[in-house]
Structure 1
Amino acid sequence: RARPGLRVDAMVLSGGGGEREQEEHAALTAFCPGAELRLTVLKLADGRLPAQWEEAKAAVEDLRARTEPDLVLAPRTDDAHQDHRGLAKLMTTAFRDHLVLGYEIAKWDGDLGRPAAYQPLPAHIAEEKVRLLQEHYPSQRHRPWYDREAFLGLARIRGIECHARYAEAFAVTKLTLDLGD
């Protein structure tokens, strides 16, 4: 909303051709109103990225060939889930000269890190994010960590860490500064 006309190129490794693809499209549309959206949803088997490395690598390289982003959002490179971690490593090698922020994904193993970058969120934005997550990802509702309290709780903890009510937090593998002469 703050940047009308923004272009968002998004890629999801699994769920192509089914309900998950429709879910991803609806979610992206809801989270990025007014943006030009280009979504790619692949049909890789969920939870099997190491066995499908070449297909995933080719997809990430294809994405890189057709976009020149100002910002790349991907899972953290030290994420405990093999698919998340694998995708993160592919993204940081394909987008070497870009700002890549690694986002947190709550899960049963408590895989939270020590983020280095924070984006404070007004309370109404944090609440809307949670509402949109719950509304647009019905395939995830059966997971015990996929609830309002978990999302707002994490946002509250990250807010405490940056002196805000709520915040998003990201890992940064490499950051290039230009502080002038």
Structure 2
Amino acid sequence: MIDLHALHLAEVAVLGAHCDDIALGVGGTLLTLSSISPGIRVRALVLSGGESRREIEERHALAALCPGADVELDVLDVPDGHAPAYWEPIKTALEGFRHRCAPDIVFAPQRGDAHQDHRLLAELVPTVFRDQLVLGYEILKWESDTPKPTVYHPLTLAVAEEKARVLIKHYPSQTDRDWFDEESFLGLSRLRGVQCRRMHAEAFVLEKMTVRFGRT
């Protein structure tokens, strides 16, 4: 398996349809980036949960996942499960968000997600972030929509376990779901680790990229 190294990241953008999507999909990667790049700018946008208990959970979780980072989070109030009916305000919000950040990498849901809110966001992000590397993350849930990832980010066992602890600690509103537990989180990251010959990993679907050979 070929390793590609992204060096000297100054800023990343993370987008989620719901509070906890980002932590589920890219929480371990955020922990890693914050550790190796102190002061990295993390710009986050979540479509639903604004001015609710879930926004409070999201702010605490992102602070825990991005220690030492410069974090800015916007949480909108699009009704959960109804994002397709709010296409225009979501597109406008994404365009405004794009003008407020300059990310080296964008993390967003992957296009094959079965949840309509996740899928709409996945479809819109590349229409706004046209010149950035966009990696589509997977969101663990009961639907059988697990993607066939093409990019893996290995995690240490410590990072995988810390991600699981953050999810349980900072999203108490979700712990009544029968799949929302550390065993599920570590099971998925272990599976992705097996697929890239590491102990644990987060996996992504690549939107589009270019590759250069030699000095050109």
TM over 0.5: yes
Residue 133 of structure 1 pairs with residue 167 of structure 2: yes
Instruction: Output the TM-score relative to the length of structure 1.
Output: 0.97
Q: Which blocks of at least 5 consecutive residues in structure 2 are unaligned?
A: 1-34
Report the alpha carbon displacement of residue 125 of structure 1 after superposing the two structures with TM. Answer: 0.7
Could you tell me the TM-score, scaled by structure 2's length? 0.82
Q: Are 2:174 and 2:180, in contact at CA under 8 Å, matched by a contact in 1?
A: yes
Instruction: Report Cα offsets for 1:78-114 as digits up to 9, x if no partner.
Output: 1110000101111111101111111110111122011
| Amino acid paired to 2:58 | E
Q: Identity over aligned residues, as a percent?
A: 54
- Equivalent-residue separation in structure 1 for 2:181 and 2:145 (angstroms): 16
Q: Return the structure number with greater relative CO, CA threshold 8 A, min gap 6.
A: 2
Match of 2:134 in 1: 100
The equivalent of 1:162 in structure 2 is 196
Structure-2 residue corresponding to 1:32: 66
Q: Where does residue 76 of structure 1 map in the other structure? A: 110
Residue 34 of structure 2 corresponds to residue 16 of structure 1: no
Residue pair 2:112, 2:145 contacting (<8 A) in 1 also: no
Partners of 1:142 and 1:176 lie apart in 2 by: 43
For 2:122, the equivalent position in structure 1 comes to: 88
- Count residues in correspondence: 181
Gaps of 5+ in 1: none
Aligned to 2:17: none
Alpha-carbon separation, structure 2, partners of 1:55 and 1:23: 24
**Aligned Cα root-mean-square deviation (Å):** 0.9
Q: How far apart in 2 are the matches of 1:63 and 1:179?
A: 33
Q: 1:62 aligns with which of 90, 96, 100?
A: 96
